[in-house]
Amino acid sequence: MTDTRAATGAEVLFTRRGRLGVATLNRPKAVNALTAGMVEALLRQLTEWAGDDRIRTVLVQGAGGRGLCAGGDIVAIYRDMVEGGHATAAFWQAEYRLNYLISRYPKPYVALMDGLVLGGGVGISAHGSVRVVTERTRTGMPETTIGFAPDVGGTLLLAGAPGESGTHAALTGAHLDGADAIHLGLADHYVPSGRLDGLVAALGDGTPEDAVGRVAVDPPPSSLAAQRPWIDSCYSPAQAEEIVSRLRAWKGPGSSDAAQAADTIEAKSPTSVKVTLASLRRVRGMRLDQALAQEYRVGLRFLESPDFREGIRAQVIDKDRSPRWQPPTLPAVTPGQVEAFFASLGSAELDVTGSGVPPEVRQKEVRDRV
């Protein structure tokens, strides 16, 4: 049985297939980039499904065939920054609550990470319990390209990756394939894209374990895993300048890749690179709710920073790909400037564990912490 819960023109479509609840992001022309309305719709429906005994498993997928989700709607963020940034702050509050809800969801949450899965798309997939990639997957946290830093819990995810692989992914903003996503810990299963329809059908009347077991295959080798020797050596310092210096000095296997990574990092927003590195180092040992609170703190400061607006302008507004960063170099960004991004918000601190969390999720949280 399929129960359609939204008009076909809605930005998120909700359907029921047997005991499977399906959320389909439905902005295919924008590769399903998240809007505030989409986040609120997902929060409402996932909360409802958490307490619905007819739903055993939840699935999130993207319409249009180009990807699950290309991230947040950064054009809307740019327009809001011009007007003061208040709508963006509210959007992040809801989005981070959604990320937390997914991470604590009391039922299997299956994410089809097919095609592009960037930024906010990682937030609605990599916190799930069953994360599926394909040969078409291109994922990552490209925030340093637009003068921002990884959020949606991305700092915690990348900080927990093997060795310094997550640091490399965060600072360069690299697009990664499905095998690399599994290596980083952002995904669990590799399913050829031609088998996804069969997976969805099997989820309607079976367990996720059985359904995935029918269609998953071994992933190909991860190029990121093969690069661990130079990545772990070069990205271990606490200072971004030292990381770049080590990348340029690396003479072993992978020296050309290391040099290219140095070039890439130096083209990003210097402020973003340094704040991102500090975020990754600080987040280790935190819970997700604490990581999201830190990311919210940092995000609000980026709304006031010239680089965030300039990065979006250069990438998607004017599309000249020539951002003018302030300050323009890594050495010009002082420790004090970086530290200011992490200062307490006082009464405005974000708490994603509050009254908006469904009872089923709060019960799971209590059980897991005992």
| Residues forming the active site | 72, 120, 143, 151
Question: Pick from 76, 141, 114, 283: which is nearest to 200 by CA?
Answer: 114
For residues 29 and 93, what is the distance between their CA atoms, to the nearest angstrom?
25
DSSP letter string, 145-170: GGT----TTHHHHHHTSSTTHHHHHH
Question: Pick from 236, 232, 241, 233: which is nearest to 262 by CA?
Answer: 241
For residues 112 and 62, what is the distance between their CA atoms, to the nearest angstrom?
8
Pair of tokens at residue 155: 């700092």
Q: Name residue 361's beta-bridge partners.
A: none
Q: Name residue 130's beta-bridge partners.
A: 110
SS3 content of the chain, % helix, strand, coil (to 5): 50, 10, 35
